[in-house]
Chains A and B, each alone.
Chain A
């Protein structure tokens, strides 16, 4: 008998690994096809600069599915008291990683729909990924539920199968300008000038455009406009540009780790405007806030949820318990909770339609107002184009590490600290 050389053996091993890779590749999950299941695909950035946010969004959808598939009498959200939907159908999730890249997100949407045979898609956090991925779904007449992407352009495409839960950056911009007017009136703030800092992406650019539009309509003057490349390693020149212009207020669209860098760079430059308000961004991320410690205080932003909203949304606590088992104890944030809502509303629509006929479910989604205890305001309803017209957010301010509700006043649980305290006076 001939002995194979060690070199040949190692190559055989290597090729075996490749073979395993290909053999167990996409399609392996099709064994489940015969069961009474509904496959839903998720596409989130599980790797890359906003991976932690993407992973929490994925965990939120998993949490919603756990509630839908199993009996949870202790949880006060629709479908929790029953097991499955449509008389015993269970939802099975098939996850994909967009890496935060548009082309990867699009390819994964195609794979999930064609190869894995998912019935609908949920995703994709980054607006720049949601756009092409939902385009694929629209072409294939499949539902795309978008929890947290905030670019207003997404729901201006007149798509039939696209539904977005979060408020858009257009509505948030109007809210921010209202806050500035309120500060001027209430605190004699004399905020007149605004600076905008944003990541140069679909999300950031749109947010900045909407901010400028709303600011001008509200009588404020935008005196500086500072874009930066996402994933930047240095924001010194951007902060210096802001400092030089010295606007009274800054509106920020800064995601993930860039947000920490921005805050720390402002501290290094020893500069702060009188007020800073952030779009859904690193500001909302409880992990980033914790990392920044006291430096995160007095920044403001809009949010659909934070643990301090518990009294407004009592049903969240029990759901959050399940969620936190999947995130090493990190609670919901304004983005991840919207993804859970997306899954729950879709399941309610399937149940109400009594069918897995996509057209019927789409019609049902449009025609009804949905109970949503995980949403601020408790309701979800979609307008033509797929925007949730009941979407609400509260403008909060971080004070001693806690998100204090500031505006609207009727929902407030704290008083605004205005102007922001300087870095050396905390």
Chain B
């Protein structure tokens, strides 16, 4: 029976919040480091994809260039530790600010392009940065940056014997980015972004400055992405260009969000929650067999999922909700007819 005081939408939100409150307890439930690794990656990739979702989902500008910002964040943290022998925190801050500045500078001309042309331009930007960083000795070039063995803990943002520290950092990152996007959804700026997505000319005719909105959206998206990149570097204790600043990495931002449900708050989480375990467990189980069996199975599962539900995981969620609602209505109808 539905309580009159609780609206259905509120019930879903309460469920989501309940899920979030349980997240801090995960390390107590599983001490298994591989499962912890998978959960950390889910939180990280959900956060990365949510950061992309700001510009790609809410603002409708499909960018394949986010690995550039991710890489800038990773190099910021990596250089602070490896090149300058300090703590990662100042590097993270510099990386976040720099990523936002770079995003604005490179996006300003690109936003004059629309649709597919914008996407193609962002592809090219990744390639330019990728090749530049590969030959740039100051950032480690092709050798990359390998972290030294330093004291573990929050000060150096690295842990060796346990993943619990990384888990809580990933959780904070997740809450920060999801919280920001949730706040944006109800904010005037969020409406501006959606207006630009639905029709730039229409939005402009209503007084929305689409260029400013898009630049602000990509700056925010890039800054949050850089934060994720810094965490990725601290987690892997290595930064190199193919790892953090590649088309491969850029595709992950898009794939997870589209799979989960673009332009929705829970979409990136759903996408990461499905895609990351699939990627990690297929590799763990079948990777050693060689011949890419794991990648074939992984690919087939993605195809199956996309064919079954083109709207993404969020589409499945809506379909299930619709089915439950229908069943409830049918049950009420039967009760009204006096059926048992």
A and B: partners? yes
- Chain A contacts for B236, CB-based, 8 A: 102-103, 106, 132
Least CB distance from A346 to B in Å reads: 19
Check A132 against B237 for contact (C-beta < 8 Å): yes
Least CB distance from A227 to B in Å reads: 6
- Chain B contacts for A205, CB-based, 8 A: 141-143
Pick the interface stretch among B80-88, B172-180, B286-294: B286-294
Task: Report the Cα distance A104→B308, complex, angstroms.
Answer: 30
Check B284 against A111 for contact (C-beta < 8 Å): yes
Check B283 against A97 for contact (C-beta < 8 Å): yes
Least CB distance from B184 to A in Å reads: 30
> Residue on B with the closest CB to A231?
B242
Least CB distance from B339 to A in Å reads: 16
Task: Report the Cα distance A114→B162, complex, angstroms.
Answer: 11
Kindly state whether residue B146 has any CB partner on chain A within 8 Å. Answer: yes
Least CB distance from A6 to B in Å reads: 12
Least CB distance from A94 to B in Å reads: 7
Kindly state whether residue A95 has any CB partner on chain B within 8 Å. Answer: yes
Check B290 against A21 for contact (C-beta < 8 Å): no
Kindly state whether residue A188 has any CB partner on chain B within 8 Å. Answer: no
- Chain A contacts for B287, CB-based, 8 A: 46-47, 95-97, 108
- Chain B contacts for A97, CB-based, 8 A: 283, 287-288, 290, 292, 294
Kindly state whether residue A128 has any CB partner on chain B within 8 Å. Answer: yes
- Chain B contacts for A22, CB-based, 8 A: 277, 281
Check A114 against B290 for contact (C-beta < 8 Å): no
* SS of B interface (majority): helix
Indicate the size class of the contact surface on chain B. 35 or more
Kindly state whether residue A14 has any CB partner on chain B within 8 Å. Answer: yes
Check B238 against A103 for contact (C-beta < 8 Å): yes
Check A14 against B238 for contact (C-beta < 8 Å): no
Least CB distance from A325 to B in Å reads: 15
Pick the interface stretch among A178-186, A196-204, A272-280: A196-204
Check A131 against B146 for contact (C-beta < 8 Å): yes
Check A102 against B243 for contact (C-beta < 8 Å): yes
Check A21 against B33 for contact (C-beta < 8 Å): no
B131, B284, B301: the one within 8 Å of A229 (CB): B131
Closest 9 CB pairs of A and B: A95-B288, A97-B287, A205-B142, A46-B290, A200-B142, A114-B33, A47-B292, A115-B34, A26-B284
By a beta-carbon cutoff of 8 Å, the part of chain B in contact with chain A is 32-34, 37, 130-131, 134-135, 141-144, 146, 149, 160-161, 232, 236-238, 240, 242-243, 277-278, 280-285, 287-292, 294-295, 301, 304-305, 308
